[in-house]
Structure 1
Amino acid sequence: MEFREHIKYRFFDLLIDKNISFSLYRLPGEREICLVLQTSDQSETFDSLSDLNNRKGFVIAPFQLSRETPIVLIQPDIVLTGEGIIFDFLYKSSFTNTQSSIFYKESKATTFDHYQKGYTKFHEALVDGAFKKLVLSRTFEISRNEQFSAGLSFQNACNKYPDNFIFLCNSPESGTWLGCSPEILVSGQNGNWTTDALAGTKKTSDINNNVIWDNKNRLEQQIVIEYMQEQLLKADIKSTYSEPKTIRSGNLAHLKSEFTFHIDDSSKIGNLLNLLHPSPAVCGFPKKEAFDFIIENEGYDRKYYSGFLGYLDVDNKTDLFVNLRCMQIFKDNLRLFAGGGILPSSELISEWKETEYKLQTILSIINE
């Protein structure tokens, strides 16, 4: 049975309304979507990345682990690939046999004044020499209208950003998250793994094919490269990495170097994640001190923004991505997240505009 596009992708809104644990995702460069559906009520939760050793499922990890934001593992009780198979299953199943019940209220966006106060704290710490880099982020909230569909917005993201990891996931423990990411945290199979050192941002309308990156953006990415090298060496992992290259993510361009390495015992992937996350790309450097500074001074809880998520299966293939361009979906509003790397040479207006550009990436997928 065929369904009109605006009908079938709304099946996922029904799953959210029933608060069923599931993840819908599409890997970069792929055409097929994948659905991971949990049949039990509660997902597994963990308070340590090492707890992910020998685990399998769709994982959602926060920026900062806490009782309110644990690591969530959606169990792969049902795993389906391809639109036809997925929608045929949902149409016949009992998961989507209820009507949506959504309520709305007004929300306000984060103000420039609030961002400016945070920027001043961060920049002063950098100028004083306490850090090489800090990542300052913010939220932007809009009210939901009656036409909003998480499922249709996921479909829009798939069409708009073919080279990104696209995801829509829900669980009682994590809430509902939708987004797209150009940054691999770890990806691999059969012992062969990759990770990205991604940083630096330019608006694509401002650049040609031959991108000229300024010193600020190059230094920002170099800090991530050096961190990745150091962390892998701590685990006695020999790696190689590519020269920085420009990649496109919607209307933005970034600098990326890809690390490749081999791990004999991939079952200990949680230990590796503990070394790499969070990287200076979303945190700063030195990492521990930057992390503590952000928690104390950023002014809000990032929750799962700038954490990571993806499918974990070390016996077959694992694909985990940094949760960069995303929104948290509530019954009455949508909370969007964006951030950027701050260096001593940074300028307030330039950094604010960068967050605006990044917010537009996710705003542009919201269905109307």
Structure 2
Amino acid sequence: MHTNVATNHTKADILQLLLQLGLTSAGSFAIWRKPKSNTVEIVLNDTAEPVKVDLSIENLEPGFIVHPFVDQADHQAYFIKANKYFSFDLEKPLSTEDLPEWAKIQLKNQERLSPNEIRELLINQTLVSKVQTSKLSENKDHFTQLVKEGIKAIQENKLEKVVPARTKTISIPPNFNLGCTLLSLMEAYPNAFINFFHLPHVGTWVGASPETLIETKGDIFCTMSLAGTQKATRDNPLKSVAWTQKEIEEQALVSRYIVSCFKKIRLREYEEHGPKTVLAGNLLHLRSDFRINMQETGFPELGSIMLGLLHPTSAVCGMPRSEAHNFLQEFEGFDRSFYAGFLGPVNIQGETSIYVNLRTASLHDNEATLYAGAGVTEDSDPEKEWEETELKCQIIGKFIQNPSA
């Protein structure tokens, strides 16, 4: 049966239709919903070869950028150009009549795929995705030893802080419904950047990031420092939370790093708000927000400048940045790929919103690889850091294993 263009659909149905459009196009596509928003957006570039671009974001056409944790030799990022774009409001009823013309034309010649057929299509298209993890990155003893090595390096004054990461691989269940998973993430995590992207032969990822790297809208530039983690408990976790000195200092380090970047470019006029406690899923973090008027300060390309200075942030790498990065390359034992890199829409509807790729999973074959890190300071406890990564893995993992979790 062909799709009836006047049929009303549930939100999950529409997401499944968008996934069908993307996966049957043989191209690259991304679907996302920004924090505190009801708008779901998709960009699709149906050319088979993934595109790479320089990081001069002010000059890019509208699209979606994806950059790995480790800078590439060519200093470029993957880019899904918005050859086709569509957005819809989750709060409003939607029929296939509301889809853009390009989507109707593509769907007109297709059978409507079932969730299981989309799952099969997804798995067939991720068979060649390279996920270069190792048995080490799954191993608890390896991770706790990594934390101990980090503490030792801090005690020896080689580092102030380091953020080791690990992976956890879970199977994708037979009843996996990607549309339901995305919708459940959107409903469960209103303050996160919910995202899915597919780059043929490169990677297929799903995530719910709590951390903005940079944002530009008109003349305003924003960034944030987010660090410190504890589980949200009790009825009103924002009121009852108590932070330890270790967590307060960890977040202050990130804020100081952002201010040092401003000083490096002689930018003196900025607003800083925080730190305040914020809820991200079932976890609490400390966050400070920074805001700058690019016009008044004479920095029209501040987005690109700060992207270069901030990534990788001390929240995902450590301090000093270069030494922490070298430590991770030497001891971590796996390729982070897009985990702790950055991603997001660029120059769409006059806005650029780029997020750190956290609370994320790579989909490949019949499995999902979850990624999580923990901020290590001198006061860290290896067992507690492992528990923190377990909590972070659950944020995405539970929705993959049970889409309506």
Assess same fold via TM > 0.5: yes
Instruction: Give the CA deviation at 1:8.
Output: 3.7
Counterpart selection for 2:306 from 267, 272, 275:
272
2:70 to 48, 64, 68: 64
Larger-gyration structure (1/2): 2
Contact 1:43 1:75 in 2 (8 A): no
Q: Which moved more, 1:91-100 or 1:354-363?
A: 91-100
Q: Is 1:44 equivalent to 2:51 in the alignment?
A: yes
Of 91, 99, 112, the match for 1:88: 99
Give the Cα separation in 2 of the matches to 1:97 and 1:115: 47
Aligned AA for 1:55? L
Partner of 1:55: 60
The letter for the 1-side match of 2:286 is L
Q: Deviations 1:260-292 (Å, cap 9, x if unpaired)?
A: 112245346323210111110111000111112
Determine if the alignment matches structure 1 residue 16 to structure 2 residue 44.
Answer: no
Q: For 1:1-368, what aligned pairs fall within 5 Å after superposition?
A: 1-4=7-10, 6-14=12-20, 15-16=22-23, 19-46=26-53, 49=55, 51-56=56-61, 57-66=63-72, 71-82=77-88, 84=94, 88-89=99-100, 92-94=104-106, 97=110, 100=118, 101=120, 102=123, 110-172=138-200, 174-205=202-233, 207=237, 209-237=239-267, 238-264=269-295, 265-267=299-301, 269-313=303-347, 316-366=350-400, 367=403
Q: 1:85 to 1:67 in 2, by over 3 A?
A: farther
Q: Distance in 2 between matches of 1:68 and 1:303?
A: 16
Residues 266 and 314 in structure 1, CA contact (< 8 A), matched pair in contact too? no
Change (3 A) 1:314 1:93: closer
The CA deviation at 1:22 is: 0.9
Secondary structure, aligned partner of 1:247 = strand
Bigger shift: 313-322 or 296-305? 313-322
List alignment gaps of at least 5 residues for structure 1: none
* Structure-2 separation of matches of 1:177 and 1:167: 8
Deviations 1:81-135 (A, max 9, x none): 1053787348624279375434699x98812122123222222212211111000
Shift of 1:361: 1.0
1:65 Cα deviation after fit:
2.1
The structural deviation recorded for 1:164 is 1.0
Report the AA paired with residue 285 of structure 2.
H
Mapped to 2, the partners of 1:16 and 1:122 lie a distance apart of 42
Q: Is the 8 Å Cα contact of residues 229 and 239 (structure 1) preserved in structure 2?
A: no
The amino acid of 2:110's aligned partner reads N
Change over 3 Å in CA distance of 1:85–1:321 after alignment to 2: farther
Amino acid at match of 1:210: S
Mapped partners of 2:342, 2:218: distance in 1:
22
> What TM-score do you get using the length of structure 1 for normalisation?
0.90
Q: Secondary structure, in 3 states, of the residue corresponding to 2:233? A: helix
8 Å contact kept, 1:23–1:36: yes
- How big is each residue's C-alpha offset from its partner over 1:135-178, in whole Å with a ceiling of 9 and x where there is no partner? 01110101122221333211110011011111111112641111
CA distance in 1, matches of 2:173, 2:74: 28
User: 1:41: Cα distance to partner?
Assistant: 2.3
Residues 132 and 208 (structure 1 numbering): CA distance in 2 closer, same or farther, change over 3 Å?
same
Matched length: 365
Q: Partners in 1 of 2:274 and 2:14 — Cα distance?
A: 43
Structure 2 vs 1, CA of residues 175 and 16 (structure 1 numbering), >3 Å: closer, same or farther?
farther
Q: Secondary structure at the match of 2:9?
A: coil
Alignment-mate amino acid for residue 217 of structure 1:
E
Rounded to whole Å, the distance in 2 between the matches of 1:291 and 1:263 is 30
Instruction: Name the TM-score, length of structure 2 as normaliser.
Output: 0.83
CA distance in 2, matches of 1:267, 1:130: 34
Q: Which runs of 5+ in 2 are unaligned?
A: 1-6, 112-116, 128-132
